[in-house]
Amino acid sequence: GAVVSQHPSWVICKSGTSVKIECRSLDFQATTMFWYRQFPKQSLMLMATSNEGSKATYEQGVEKDKFLINHASLTLSTLTVTSAHPEDSSFYICSARGQGGNSPLHFGNGTRLTVT
Amino acid sequence: LAKTTQPISMDSYEGQEVNITCSHNNIATNDYITWYQQFPSQGPRFIIQGYKTKVTNEVASLFIPADRKSSTLSLPRVSLSDTAVYYCLVGDLGDYKLSFGAGTTVTVRA
């Protein structure tokens, strides 16, 4: 089945630094990936749609200069949280649709970001 | 995007069947219904997907009435490890910019 791998699974960084999170589709190609953020006891909130070879599409209220997305290949999308602050601490999850006409979204296991 | 409504929480006991109903009154013709399970600090895991009538796999069944304005996820004989949040998502597979609702927290007790 379609597997989406996220790395790292957790990261702690200091305020003001940048953190990169990788999302890989291991056994399929994904022209589109999605990035979500989830705060404790809340649902997933879509941040942006990552498109291979073109600019990401950001949801309203998500700062594109703060959350840099790069989708340089058909199997890798990266999310960089720039100049992180404690309020950016959250659980970040990526997803990609498997190949095949009716394939559902498959999710990575998430990255817990803690900014101190 | 079709808006979904699910119960906030459900309690059950081991061995019982759990049925979670999701309302999606404005579902579009091209929309599919997909259910996910999420454990704490993990990404959502695909459970089942359907378009109409009934779909069954090794872990669950999905019942969709003819008008498709609701769907019911059925988990047979739950165990403690089924305690999780369950999300119902409705969307066009060609688009797949899905929005997550609040989900249903299912708690299974011994």
Tens digits of per-residue pLDDT, B56-106?
999 999 999 999 999 999 999 999 999 999 999 998 876 666 778 889 999
Q: Which residues of B12-40 are buried (b: 16+ CB within 10 A; e: fewer)?
A: beeeeebebebbbeebeeebbbbbbbbee
Q: What is the pLDDT of residue A101?
A: 67
Q: Is the CB of B98 less than 8 angstroms away from the CB of A93?
A: no
Q: What is the pLDDT of residue A31?
A: 84
Interface of A with B in 63-102 (CB under 8 A): 91, 93, 95, 97, 101-102
Nearest to B97 among A4, A49, A106 (CB): A49
10-residue mean pLDDT series, chain A (116 residues): 91 97 92 93 92 90 95 92 97 87 86 98
Contact B20, B72 (CB under 8 A): yes
Average pLDDT of chain B is: 93
Q: Give the least confident one: A64-78, B8-22, B26-40, B82-96.
A: B82-96
Q: What is the identity of the amino acid at A7?
A: H
Q: What is the pLDDT of residue B39?
A: 97
B27-32 mean pLDDT: 91
> Which chain B residue is nearest to residue A44, measuring alpha carbons?
B100
